Amino acid sequence: MNTLVALLALSMFTVASAHVVAEPYEYKEGDSPMEGYIAYDDHALGKRPGVLIIHDWNSIDDYERNRAKQLAGMGYVALAGDIYGKGVRPTDTAGSMRESAKYRGDMPLFRKRLTAALDALKKHPKVDANKIVVIGYCFGGTAAVELARTGADIRGAVSFHGSPTLDAEGTKRIKAKVVISHGADDPLVPDSQLNAMLKEFKEAKVDYQFIAYSGAVHSFTNPFAGNNVASGNAYNATADRRSWEHLTSFLAEVFAG
């Protein structure tokens, strides 16, 4: 049943254009080699907006690759950025937990990796470097907000079921418009922590939207999360569709003009 759900959900990712190029994309953070994944329509003329995708704690896999191709089919250049480094791809929960904790516990390194991915996308010849949005899922959702807190020149930052973090001084540096897409029934994110982050946003006068999807728990956009809501991680097709529609309209808004 889980496999069927995943296949049905992934059918939503089908790229309409037959001209989408999707391939590994190497760059560096300092001396550290990184390997992202980039997708774009090579028949489209001129520079176009870029969307930086930050992976969940498993690193880049088919989920991020499919999202990149989906965005490319919409006319954007999409880069799934690499936080862990080339060849560092956890194969189990313990490995994912270990790698993600390494960056959560070293925010300067985390932000360096995020900035390197952003710079790599901006330097791509098909990208309009003045029109960039970062999006992320779970670990990557947290990362999207952290990149905005560096004061990066990006149009927007969108967090899908990310874990809230606090940094009052960093929040004051946010220039981007922010969207927090949250599962209303997510047991892994304490309301107190979420409300504290939103309070920071309000006090810093961040242009933000907070959207909670009823019935959704953690990982609600990911068909590979299965359907066991009681586990706290489960796919929710309705919340996935609605949150993607919200993203689509948000991209149109911030990239206008």
Residue 76 has pLDDT above 80, yes or no: yes
**Structural domains for the chain:** 2-255 (3.40.50.1820)
**Token pair 């010849």 is at which residue?**
125
Residue 15 has pLDDT above 80, yes or no: no
- pLDDT value for 44: 86
Distance CA 66, CA 48 (A): 19
How confident is residue 143, by pLDDT bands cut at 50, 70 and 90?
very high
Would the CA dihedral through 244, 179, 195, 103 be positive or negative?
Answer: positive
- pLDDT value for 247: 98
Q: Which candidate, 74, 37, 24, 52, places its Cα nearest to that of 143?
A: 52
Weakest mean pLDDT among 10-19, 96-105, 110-119 = 10-19
Helical segments of the chain, H only? 2-10, 62-73, 93-104, 107-122, 139-149, 168-172, 191-203, 237-255
pLDDT in tens, 155-208: 999 999 999 999 999 999 999 999 999 999 999 999 999 999 999 999 999 999
pTM above 0.85, yes or no: yes
161 touches 186 (CB < 8 A): yes
121 touches 81 (CB < 8 A): yes
Instruction: Output 67 or 2, whichever has higher pLDDT.
Output: 67
How confident is residue 45, by pLDDT bands cut at 50, 70 and 90?
confident
pLDDT in tens, 83-93: 999 999 999 99
Percent of the chain exceeding pLDDT 70 equals 93
Would the CA dihedral through 244, 95, 23, 141 be positive or negative?
Answer: positive
**H or E segment and range at residue 178:** strand 177-183
Q: Which candidate, 120, 119, 96, 182, places its Cα nearest to that of 145?
A: 182
How confident is residue 7, by pLDDT bands cut at 50, 70 and 90?
very low
pLDDT, mean over the chain: 93
Half-sphere exposure in the Cβ direction for 242 (13 Å, CA) = 15
